[in-house]
Structure 1
Amino acid sequence: MARTEKPAPAPPSTACPTCKGSGEVARTVRVGRKHRVVGQQSGLCLTCLGSGEAPVE
């Protein structure tokens, strides 16, 4: 009797918890001497460095 192999389980989700896998986070834009907030722009996620995958510990 031939032995059948079971398929390997899918790897766990490795999405970065900070950016949710997008690689970008919202950054507040401040201008002027009093650092007035004028809006937000997208910035590189420093946790995963823009890859969208959680870093291996």
Structure 2
Amino acid sequence: MATIRTTTKTPKKTTTDPVEPASCQPCGGSGNVAITVRVGRKRRPVGQQDGLCLNCLGEGTAPDA
């Protein structure tokens, strides 16, 4: 004769913690990248300025995430 189970297992926790989206690799999550400024006829570099990250379009999160 088969035994009857009298206790039940407790249900497993199914809620997950919210996952933070991955940061964009080229800009490091800031949304800005350094762009070299060139001047003169020979186009020599004189400095850098901030530019919009074209990978994430300034959001700072990875587009694949």
Q: TM-score range by the shorter chain?
A: 0.7 to 0.9
Which segments of 5 or more consecutive residues in structure 2 lack a partner in the other structure? Answer: 1-7
Identity across aligned pairs (percent)? 51
User: After TM superposition, where is structure 1 displaced by more than 6 Å over at least 4 residues in a row?
Assistant: none
In structure 2, the residue matched to 1:32 is 40
In structure 2, the residue matched to 1:50 is 58
Find the structure with the greater CA-based Rg.
Answer: 2
1:3-53 Cα deviation digits (max 9, x unpaired) = 473541341541001101000000000011100111000000011011000
Please tell me the residue identity of whatever aligns with 2:41.
R
Counting matched residue pairs gives 57
- Please, what TM-score do these two structures have when normalized by structure 2? 0.71
Q: CA RMSD in A?
A: 2.3
Q: Distance in 1 between matches of 2:32 and 2:63?
A: 15
